[in-house]
Amino acid sequence: GAADVECDVLVLGAGPGGYSAAFRAADLGLKVVIVERYATLGGVCLNVGCIPSKALLHVAAVMDEVRHMVDLGVDFGAPSVNIDKLRSHKDKVIGKLTGGLAAMGKMRKVSTVRGVGTFLDPHHVEVEETTGAGTERSGAKKVLRFKHAIIAAGSQSVKLPFFPQDERIVDSTGALALKAVPKKMLIVGGGIIGLEMGTVYSTLGARLDVVEMMDGLMQGADRDLVKVWEKMNAGRFDKIMLKTKTVGAEATPEGIKVQFEGLDGSKSEGLYDLVLQAVGRTPNGKKIGAEKAGVAVTDRGFINVDLQMRSNVPHIFAIGDIVGQPMLAHKAVHEAHVAAEVIAGTLKGDKELASAAFNARVIPSVAYTDPEVAWVGLTEDQAKAQGIKVKKGLFPWTASGRAIANGRDEGVTKLLFDDSPEAHGHGRILGGGMVGTHAGDMIGEVALAIEMGADAIDIGKTIHPHPTLGESIGMAAEVAHGSCTDLP
Ligand code: FAD
**List 123, 426, 466, 481, catalytic entry:** 466
Alpha carbon distance 78, 172 (integer Å): 28
Q: What amino acid occupies position 299?
A: D
User: pLDDT digits over 298-320, tens only?
Assistant: 999 999 999 999 999 999 999 99
- What pLDDT was estimated at residue 484? 65
Backbone angles phi, psi at 241, to 5 degrees: -100, 110
- What pLDDT was estimated at residue 483? 74
From 98, 116, 118, 151, select the one nearest 320 (Cα to Cα): 151
From 383, 384, 321, 380, select the one nearest 151 (Cα to Cα): 321
Q: Helix (H, G, I), strand (E, B), or coil: what is residue 155?
A: strand
Alpha carbon distance 164, 249 (integer Å): 7
Task: For ligand 1, say whether the CB of 330 is within 6 Å of any of its atoms.
Answer: yes
pLDDT for 285 beyond 90: yes
Task: For ligand 1, say whether the CB of 50 is within 6 Å of any of its atoms.
Answer: yes
Active site residue 466: yes
Backbone angles phi, psi at 271, to 5 degrees: -120, 125
Which pairs count as long-range contacts for 290-296, CB under 8 Å and 24+ apart, including other chains? 290/119, 290/151, 292/118, 292/119, 292/120, 292/121, 293/119, 293/121, 293/122, 293/149, 294/122, 295/119, 295/151
Torsion (CA) 17, 19, 24, 26 in degrees, nearest 10: 140
Task: For ligand 1, say whether the CB of 189 is within 6 Å of any of its atoms.
Answer: no
Under the banding of pLDDT at 50, 70 and 90, the label for residue 103 is: very high
Alpha carbon distance 323, 10 (integer Å): 17
Q: Helix (H, G, I), strand (E, B), or coil: what is residue 339?
A: helix
From 95, 84, 97, 179, select the one nearest 133 (Cα to Cα): 95
Name 7's Cβ contacts closer than 8 Å, sequence gap at least 6: 31, 32, 33, 144, 145, 146, 147
- What pLDDT was estimated at residue 435? 98
From 299, 272, 32, select the one nearest 144 (Cα to Cα): 32
Q: In a 10 Å sphere around its CB, with 0-12 CB exposed, 13-18 middle and 19+ buried, how is residue 224 labelled?
A: middle
∠ CA(160), CA(164), CA(169), 5° rounding? 75
> What spacing in Å lies between the alpha carbon of 267 and ligand 1's midpoint?
36
pLDDT for 193 beyond 60: yes
Q: Answer whether 0.80 is exceeded by the pTM.
A: yes
> Percent of the chain having pLDDT more than 90?
97
Task: For ligand 1, say whether the CB of 308 is within 6 Å of any of its atoms.
Answer: no
> What spacing in Å lies between the alpha carbon of 50 and ligand 1's midpoint?
9
Does the ipTM exceed 0.90? yes
Q: Helix (H, G, I), strand (E, B), or coil: what is residue 411?
A: coil
User: pLDDT digits over 436-468, tens only?
Assistant: 999 999 999 999 999 999 999 999 999 999 999
Beta strands in 155-253 (DSSP E): 155-157, 169-170, 184-188, 207-211, 237-241, 244-252
pLDDT for 488 beyond 60: no
Q: In a 10 Å sphere around its CB, with 0-12 CB exposed, 13-18 middle and 19+ buried, how is residue 299 labelled?
A: exposed
pLDDT for 195 beyond 80: yes
> What spacing in Å lies between the alpha carbon of 43 and ligand 1's midpoint?
5
Name 93's Cβ contacts closer than 8 Å, sequence gap at least 6: 51, 52, 55
Higher pLDDT, 215 or 425: 215
**Residue 52 near residue 79 (C-beta atoms within 8 A):** no
For residue 48, how far is the Cα from the chain centroid?
12
From 234, 239, 233, select the one nearest 271 (Cα to Cα): 239
Q: Helix (H, G, I), strand (E, B), or coil: what is residue 272?
A: strand
- What pLDDT was estimated at residue 468? 98
Beta strands in 319-406 (DSSP E): 365-367, 372-377, 390-396
**Residue 139 near residue 129 (C-beta atoms within 8 A):** yes
How many residues does this entry show for the chain? Answer: 488
Burial 156-169 (b: 16+ CB within 10 A, else e): bbeebeebeeeebb
Where on the phi/psi map is residue 220: left (φ > 0), alpha (ψ -120 to 50), or beta?
left
> What spacing in Å lies between the alpha carbon of 324 and ligand 1's midpoint?
12
Task: For ligand 1, say whether the CB of 16 is within 6 Å of any of its atoms.
Answer: yes
